[in-house]
Amino acid sequence: MRPFLAVFPAFVLLVACGSPSVDDGSPVGPPSGAHPDEASAPTPDADTFAEAEGDWTSRGRHPWFVLEPGWQLVLEGEEDGEPVRLTITVLDDTRVVDGVETRVVEERETEDGELVEVSRNFVALSKVTGAVGYFGEEVDLYEDGRVVGHGGAWLAGRDGARFGLLLPGAPRVGERFFQEVAPGTALDRAEIVRLDGELSTPAGRFEGCLEVRESSALEKGSELKLHAPGIGLAQEEDLLLVRYGMRDG
């Protein structure tokens, strides 16, 4: 889908995986990180989950996902010969969706320097299982600097939609689950491929990466994502992490 971005010289970064935690350091749910050899046959695509309204927090850390205001990831690559940049920022903003206070995670995508999409994703962490819950998104699609559509937008609690999981609290190889549960609009699903992936990017070299294969029940094809421990998304198809950390200002 996107040609591979040339890898710049990288420093070695080994980040140990830990338990999900809230800001005071207390654990959120059970520790993650099943051993990579504990592979199981692919499970049916799970679309219902045990978490309840009172089990969520709008900030904290999963071993492969950071939900702290100000945390930012920048990935870059090419598509059809054009430079693409994806900037993911955890905002200070929260929003109550289907009775749950969620954190807004903004994604901004540009192609050849032109803004093509902005999405506001509503995310929370389970205090019981450590899972990363996904409660919907608002989408603005741009063309020539103007909003031209909102394709893919959905919210849990509306039109039969329910929350999905971006990542389970204790991932296991072969585990499959829906990330978006919005019939007729968004039915993205994922399968855990491995827990010991290695990746070199312009931002560094990472070990112990969580590798996920994502697809949609509404579309053909799939895409590969790798999440670096302690950091978050480090590869989306041919987009690679070029910068991460707390944003300036």
Q: How far apart are CA 27 and CA 125, in angstroms?
A: 11
**Domains (range + CATH), the chain:** 42-246 (2.40.360)
Round to whole Å and give the CA distance between 235 and 228: 9
pLDDT in tens, 176-208: 999 999 998 998 999 999 999 999 999 999 999
Question: Tokens 């992936």 — which residue?
Answer: 197
Mean pLDDT over all residues of the chain? Answer: 85
What span, in angstroms and rounded, lies between the C-alpha atoms of 137 and 108? 13
Q: Which amino acid is at 71?
A: W
How far is 187 from 215, CA to CA, in rounded Å?
Answer: 9
Residue 35 has pLDDT above 90, yes or no: no
Structural contact between residues 140 and 163, judged by C-beta atoms closer than 8 angstroms: no
Higher pLDDT, 1 or 231: 231
Residue 135: burial class (beta carbons within 10 Å; 0-12, 13-18, 19+): buried
Please give the pLDDT value at position 249: 59
17/191: higher pLDDT? 191
Q: What is the pLDDT of residues 45-89, one digit of tens each?
A: 888 888 888 899 999 999 999 999 999 999 999 988 899 999 999
Enumerate the H helices of the chain as residue ranges.
Answer: none
Number of DSSP helices (H) and strands (E) in the chain, helices first: 0, 19
Instruction: For residue 185, give both structure tokens.
Output: 């609009």
End-to-end alpha-carbon separation of the chain, Å?
34
pLDDT at position 68 is 98
* pLDDT computed for residue 223 by the predictor: 92
Cα separation of 89 and 171, whole Å?
A: 24
What does the alpha-carbon distance between residue 181 and residue 241 come to, in Å, rounded to a whole number? Answer: 28
Res 16 pLDDT > 90: no
Note the pLDDT of residue 219. 84
Ranges assigned E (strand) in 127-231: 132-143, 146-149, 154-155, 162-167, 176-178, 180-181, 188-201, 204-216, 219-228
Is the pLDDT score of 150 beyond 80?
A: yes
**Overall residue count recorded for the chain in this entry:** 249
pLDDT band at residue 8, thresholds of 50, 70 and 90?
Answer: very low
> What share of the chain in percent tops pLDDT 70?
82
Identity of the amino acid at 241: L
Cβ neighbours of residue 25 closer than 8 Å, sequence gap 6 or more: none
> Structure tokens of 237?
């198809």
Confidence check: pLDDT of 32 > 60: no
User: Are 104 and 68 spatial neighbours (Cβ–Cβ below 8 Å)?
Assistant: no
**Cα–Cα dist 57/42, whole Å:** 29
- Mind listing the pLDDT tens digit for each residue in 110-136? 999 999 999 999 999 999 999 999 999
Q: Up-side HSE of residue 119: CA atoms within 13 Å toward CB? A: 19
